[in-house]
Structure 1
Amino acid sequence: MARDPLAAISTIATPQHQRIPGRTDQVLNNAGGYVFAKDTWTKLEDFLILGTTGGTYYVGEDKLTEQNAAVLFAAISEDGPRVVNLIVAVSTARPPRAPKPRPAVFALAAAFARGDLATRQAVKGALPLVVRTTDHLAMFVGYLKNLGGKASHSGSSLVVGRSLRAALASWFLRDEPDNVAFRACKAMQRKTPNGEAFSLRDALRIAHPKADTAQRRILFGWIAGNVSDDVARDELPAVDRFLTAKAVTTPAEAVRVITEAKVPWEFLPDAMLREPAVWEALVDTVGMTALIRNLARMTRIGALKPMGDATARAVARLTNGDALLRARIHPMDAWLAMRVYASGRTQRDPRAAVQEWKPVPAILDALEETYELSFGAVEPSGKRLLVAVDSSGSMDGGWYGGQVTAGGSTLGSPYEVGCAMAVMLARIEKGNVHVVDVDTSIRASKVTPRTNLREIASWEPSGGGTNLALPFDWARQEQLNVDGIVVFTDNETWAGRSHPAQSLTAYRKAVNPGARVVVATMTAAGHSIGDPNDPGVLNLVGVDASLPMVVNGFIRS
């Protein structure tokens, strides 16, 4: 009998290098497989969370940046106010969803530069919510020069109109005067992303905001240089503490104002923040989050050292379970801190020099205990989960150096980070989790709820191709009845005889019709194995403290 080519057409099992018949919303991924295209708004959200720094295994940083900028501009043309609302939602989420503010600030500048009147009005209200610090304001102004400025002899300059004045004025007017004073005191001078000098005084002169109270009038006058320090410190406590700190000239004086005047560390002169004795005093006074974030700095300058007194006090704070719960330190916060500290290296700004330190073993041990203790505040979902970690070749860091980063430090390869997330879920769910590795077959995972997170760094993915239909096929074959399936991947699947969405449908028919799926990806590549029309599938992107809680909530519901 002659071969019938029509018999090869199937909506039940379609090779991944072909589209599912009838699905026009599938696109080729970078590995040659068909996956579901994310719509403009999902792509934009991915960009706001992940940015494009570092690129991916398949796509370099410059190309990924170009692709995501095009998505942003298209979204602004389609619905600028919606873009602004999404920027605000990502930027103000608690716990934070985006590890870096630059993508959101860039997007807000683009919305102002390329948006219509309604969009610019939306930016005016959003600016103080997204652009929270002087550093952010310098970013916004720098990006705005590039996107909507005019050429000048020095490169580019702002086009100043009523809408820009109003937007910048909102930064100075939205919050209480003393809170604005606090931000102003933290940083009067910054540099734009292009390296140009930025002065808060210049921004105030452009905005020319109208003071609504005497206190705010004094603040504006002080920033502009028209009100004396004595007058300002009488009305604004933040200015008083700032001027007290500014007068410090020796480490001994700095220690005194820290312990007696309770001056925040951000107000101290930069020279003092390079002094070990100053940080030895600050170990006891900075907030828990600030302590965790400055461990690398304290180690680099010698305030934290093996068998040191400050080290012992830092360890005591990091292992105080009650204090960690009060500070709402999540296991993800602790894990991120541990990985950044253990890396021994950071470069927050591409223009800045690389900073290096030798991690103190006692601090690393303390951060592991911080991680352990922080689980006390996390409630399990009570659901059964299958977690599949993509262990294919593209998950090992890649030819383009596609490491997952945070705060300018490398957290590890996508595979390492995926395994760490699997450990965390297994620990949170108290044993109701089974973890597998997947490439072109299902492999046993080393992950258990008690896996030591340091040992994951030595693990390597199995390599080879990718078939992300396998977790669903395997669960069906094993009759593994789970409430949710979580996949950590870069979505570059291509090797299967059926699509993941088809295999999920088969699993639901055969085992659990209500099974939910979370696809967690760490690259802003614009596509996913998750069917966007399936309400039981959630596509996540990025590595942040909210990820385990989002998985928990989605599976629970």
Structure 2
Amino acid sequence: MSRDPLAAVSAFNTPQSARLPGRPEQVRNDGGGFVFAKDLWTRLEDFLILGTCGGTYYVHEWQLTERNTGVLFDAIAEDGPRVVELLTAVSTARPPRAPKPRPALFALAAAYAMGDPATRQAAKLALPKVARTTDHLAQFFGYFKNLGGKPTRGGASPVTGRSVRTALGSWLLEGSPDDVAFKACKAAQRRTPQGEAFSLRDVLRIAHPVADSEQRKVLFGWIAGNVPDERAREALPAVDRFLTAKAVTGVAEAVRVVRERNVPWEFLPDELLSEPAVWEVLVDTVGMTALLRNLARMTRIGALKPGGDATRRAVARLTSGDALARARIHPMDVFLALRVYGSGRAQPHPRAELQRWQPVPAVRDALEEAYERSFANVEPTGKRLLVAVDSSGSMGYSGISLGGSPLGTVYELACAMAVMLARIERGGVHVIDVDTAVHASKVTPRTNLREIAAWQPSGGGTDLSLPFTWALRERMEVDGVVVLTDNETWAGRSHPAQALARYRQALNPRAGVVVAAMTAAGYSIGDPKDERVLNVAGLDASLPMIVNGFIRDGGQESDGGRTS
């Protein structure tokens, strides 16, 4: 008797290469398995946080970019003001939720170029909040030219309607005149993503903003070159400090103005920023975030060196719990600084010269201590968590970089997030690696973050039903499961949702699940109809707090299955 093919259809054990019965909305992932498509707004949030640089094992960078920009354009057409609200929330959160500002700036430019009047009005109000520096403004303007300009022989020229002109003018009107002067002095000129020069003088010519005070009128005139330096010095303290710094001709004089006038490092002439003695004094005056970002520069030029006095003072600042708390330094901030510094190399863009440095051991140790201290104000959930890190071959393919410095593979960063969760929960977390089998993880609450750089994924296929089948087999009762993955599962004999249902039925019916996507692929193993499943972006700096709140509240969210 021939086998009945209908007997293979099961609501309890469906191969991941087939759709779940009764779930026609499932889509095929790039690995060949069936998963749940994320809704439009969750996909947009993933793009704003994760971006598309580097592509994935299965999808080239340009394909991933095309996919995600299509999501953005669809979201603008559906509800442009909501797009602006979301990108503003991601961009202005503290700690920053996205490692890079460019996706949010691109989305804001698209909102201007493609949105309706209500969208453009929302974007106009958001521009000064999202584009906080001249560099951000230049990136925004370059993206806008490509999306809302007109073609020329050399590329594109902007079509600046009233809304855009008003928005650019509002950037110069936001905050006090001296605050704007400070930003102008830090960087009056930058380059767009296309490599074109962009200056605040250009902004004045395009926008023609009307000064709201005599002080701002002086500022605009000075930027345009119509007001002499002496008049600007009298009206604007930031300009006075800037001109004082620019008049410096030697190292000794630069050291003096930093100490006596508290001149910020961005105001000093470029040639003096390569002098070790200048940075040796700046170690004590720059903000904590600037200190983290300039450790590589200070090491490269010799200001930070083994046994040096400046190194001792930098270490003291980095390891001060009070200083970290005042600056609201997040563990992700320190982790990124540690990976950039430890990489020993940076190349901000392909045309730039490759920069190299030899990391100072005492500074690396200080960064690790700063990482530990930055957890001081994070309260654990008190719940039991199983964290599953996808260790399949695709997780070791893509590399992520920041400022031209390699941060590591997607797998390494997933392990780092697992370490953070384990550190917060202080022993309430068990971590496993998963491909087509379950492997012991090296992650512990005390894992040294530099160790992770040497870790390699186990490789092979992907079966993301395993965290739940393994926990059931081991009779491990947990309150929540966190899965860090690219969602390219295909190898299992049952779907993750089916394995989760069995686990809940046998051990804990209220177990919550957080699926942290490490790439912006647009789909997830997390069932959007399950109110106790949450989809989030894996590189979101707020991930530990999202997990904390979701699991603490019993996995109950008003927008079940959506990212918070």
TM-score (norm: length of structure 1): 0.96
Question: For the Cα contact (< 8 Å) 1:100–1:407, is it kept in 2?
Answer: no
**Secondary structure of 1:294's partner?**
helix
2:419 corresponds to: 423
1:539 — aligned with what? 535
Q: Distance in 1 between matches of 2:423 and 2:151?
A: 56
Letter in 2 for 1:103: P
> What SS does structure 2 have at the residue aligned with 1:549?
helix
Q: Give the whole-Å Cα distance in 2 for the aligned partners of 1:443 and 1:152.
A: 56
Residue in structure 2 matched with residue 61 of structure 1 by the alignment: 61
Q: Determine if contact 1:404/1:522 at 8 Å carries over to the other structure.
A: no
Per-residue deviation at 1:153? 4.5
Bigger Cα displacement from structure 2, 321-330 vs 375-384: 321-330
Offset from partner CA, 1:44-93 (integer Å, 9 cap, x none): 11111111111111111111111112221222222222211111111111
1:330-354 Cα shifts (integer Å, max 9, x gaps): 3222222111110111223344333
The alpha-carbon deviation at position 33 of structure 1 amounts to: 0.5
Alignment partner of 1:260: what SS? helix
What residue is the counterpart of 1:362 in the other structure?
Answer: 362
Q: Is the 8 A contact 2:317 2:323 kept in 1?
A: yes
1:256 and 2:277 correspond = no
Partner amino acid for 2:438?
Answer: I
User: Does the Cα contact within 8 Å between 2:95 and 2:329 map onto a contact in 1?
Assistant: no
Q: Indicate whether 1:433 and 2:434 are aligned.
A: no
* AA partner of residue 352 (structure 2): A
Asked if structure 2 preserves the Cα contact closer than 8 Å seen for 1:134 and 1:190, the reply is yes
Q: Distance in 2 between matches of 1:332 and 1:113?
A: 33
Asked if the contact 2:133–2:183 (Cα under 8 Å) also holds between the matched residues in 1, the reply is yes
Mapped partners of 1:27, 1:153: distance in 2: 42
CA contact (8 A) 2:91 2:97 kept: yes
Q: Which residue identity is paired with 1:97?
A: R
Could you tell me which residue of structure 2 aligns to residue 513 of structure 1? 509
- 1:193-208 → structure 2 map (5 Å cutoff): 193-208=193-208
What code does the residue aligned with 2:382 have?
G
1:159 & 1:461 partners in 2: Cα distance? 49
How far off its partner does 1:2 sit? 4.3
Name the counterpart of 1:529: 525
The residue aligned with 2:163 is: 163
- TM-aligned CA distance change 1:25 to 1:408, over 3 Å: farther
Letter in 2 for 1:15: P
Unmatched 5+ stretches in structure 1: none
Specify the SS of the correspondent of 2:110. helix
2:86 counterpart of 1:86? yes
Q: Relative to 1, partners in 2 of residues 1:494 and 1:158: Cα closer, same or farther, differing over 3 Å?
A: same
What pairs up with 1:7-406 in 2 under 5 angstroms?
7-396=7-396, 398=397, 402-406=398-402
8 Å CA contact retained: 1:486, 1:520: yes
State the alpha-carbon separation in 1 of the partners of residues 333 and 215 from structure 2.
Answer: 38
Quote how far apart the aligned CAs of 1:101 are: 1.0
Deviates more, 1:485-494 or 1:420-429: 420-429
Amino acid at match of 1:481: E
Segment of structure 1 superposing worse, 417-426 or 153-162 = 153-162
Contact (CA 8 Å) 1:99, 1:407: kept in 2 or not?
no
Deviation at 1:327, TM superposition (A): 2.1
SS state at 2:55 partner: coil
Query: What are the superposed Cα offsets for residues 198-241 of structure 1, whole Å, 9 maximum, x if unpaired?
Result: 11111112111111222222211111122222222212111111
Which of residues 533, 548, 555 is equivalent to 2:551?
Answer: 555
In the alignment, structure 1 residue 4 sits paired with structure 2 residue 4: yes
Contact conserved, 1:38 with 1:526, CA < 8 A, in 2? yes
Q: Distance in 1 between matches of 2:72 and 2:452?
A: 36
Distance 2:473 2:400 in 1: 33
Deviation at 1:383, TM superposition (A): 0.9
How big is the shift at 1:405? Answer: 2.5
Deviation string 1:385-429 (CA, Å, 9 cap, x unpaired) is 001111111111x1xxx1133333222122222222222211211
Checking the alignment, whether the CA contact within 8 Å between 1:109 and 1:147 is kept in structure 2 is yes
Residue 445 of structure 1: aligned partner: 441
CA deviations 1:514-535 (Å, max 9, x no partner) are 1111111211111111112222
Deviation of residue 254 (structure 1)? 1.0
TM-score (structure 2 length as normaliser): 0.95
Deviation at 1:4, TM superposition (A): 2.3
| 8 Å contact from structure 1 (residues 98, 542) kept in 2 | no
Q: Where in structure 2 are there 5+ consecutive unaligned residues?
A: 554-564
- Paired-residue identity, %: 73
Query: SS at 2:449's partner residue?
Result: coil
Aligned residues: CA RMSD: 1.5
**1:482 Cα offset (Å):** 0.8
Aligned length: 553
The answer to whether the 8 Å contact 1:29/1:492 transfers is yes
Instruction: Please give the alpha-carbon distance, in whole angstroms, between the structure 2 residues aligned to 1:9 and 1:463.
Output: 30
Question: Equivalent of 1:485, from 462, 481, 484?
Answer: 481
The match for 2:562 is none
Question: Which deviates more, 344-353 or 413-422?
Answer: 344-353
Q: Which position in structure 1 is the counterpart of 2:406?
A: 410
SS of corresponding position for 1:376? coil
Contact 2:383 2:551 in 1 (8 A): yes
Aligned equivalents of 1:520, 1:408: Cα separation in 2? 25
Shift of 1:495: 0.5
What SS is found at the alignment partner of 2:20?
A: coil
Distance 1:88 1:388 in 2: 31
Higher mean displacement: 517-526 or 442-451: 442-451
The alpha-carbon deviation at position 544 of structure 1 amounts to 4.2
1:356-383 deviations in whole A, cap 9, x for unaligned?
Answer: 2111111111111212222222211111
Distance 1:348 1:532, change over 3 A: farther
Q: Which amino acid aligns with 2:119?
A: T
TM-aligned CA deviation for residue 454 of structure 1: 2.0
Structure 2 residue matching 1:375: 3-state secondary structure: coil
Q: 1-side partners of 2:244 and 2:417: how far apart? A: 45
Displacement of 1:540 in angstroms is: 1.4
> Per-residue deviation at 1:295?
0.3
Is contact 1:127–1:167 with CA below 8 Å preserved after alignment? yes
8 A Cα contact 2:31 2:489, kept in partner: yes
Moved more, 220-229 or 295-304: 220-229
Distance 1:133 1:329 in 2: 20
**410-419 vs 15-24, which deviates more?**
410-419
Q: What is the distance in 2 between the residues matched to 1:202 and 1:442?
A: 58
Matched, 1:459 2:455: yes
- Counterpart-to-counterpart distance in 2, 1:247 and 1:505: 70
Aligned counterparts of 2:136 and 2:520: Cα–Cα separation in 1: 22
Q: Hey, what's the Cα distance between the residues in 1 that align with 2:383 and 2:524?
A: 24
Q: Deviation at 1:32? A: 0.4
